[in-house]
Amino acid sequence: MRFDILTIFPDFFSSPLAEGMIRRAVQDGLVLIQTHNIRDYATDKHAMTDDRPFGGGEGMVMKPEPLAAAVEQARGSGVDARVVLLTPQGRTLDQQLAEELAGEEQLILVCGRYEGVDERFRAAYVDLEVSIGDYILTGGEPAALVLLDSVIRLLPGVLGCGDSAENDTFSRGSRGGLKYPQYTRPRIFAGREVPEVLLSGDHAAIERWRFLAAVRRTISRRPELVAAMEFTPAERKLLRENDISLPPAGNGGE
Ligand code: 6GU
CATH number at residue 42: 3.40.1280.10
The pLDDT assigned to 176 comes to 87
Number of domains in the chain: 2
The H or E element that residue 62 is part of is strand 61-62
The pLDDT assigned to 174 comes to 73
- The predicted model scores a pTM of 0.93
Number of the ligand 1 atom closest to the C-alpha atom of 139: 4
The pLDDT assigned to 254 comes to 44
Whether residues 105 and 189 fall in one domain: no
Residue nearest atom 3 in ligand 1 by C-alpha distance:
137
Which CATH number characterizes residue 218's domain? 1.10.1270.20
Q: Are the C-beta atoms of 222 and 177 separated by less than 8 Å? A: yes
Whether residues 199 and 233 fall in one domain: yes
CA of 136 to the centre of ligand 1 (A): 5
CA of 116 to the centre of ligand 1 (A): 10
Q: Which among 92, 123, 152 is the end of a domain?
A: 152
Q: Around Cβ 235, how many Cβ atoms within 10 Å?
A: 17
Residue nearest atom 7 in ligand 1 by C-alpha distance:
88
Q: Tell me the H-state helices in 18-115.
A: 20-27, 64-75, 95-101
Q: Of 130, 236, 235, 218, nearest to 169 (Cα)?
A: 218
The whole domain housing 204 covers 172-241
Residue 176 domain flag = yes
Residue 161 domain flag = no
142 Cβ below 6 A of ligand 1: no
CA of 131 to the centre of ligand 1 (A): 5
Mean pLDDT per 10-residue segment, the chain (254 residues)? 98 96 97 98 94 96 97 89 97 97 98 92 98 97 98 94 74 85 98 98 98 97 94 96 83 46
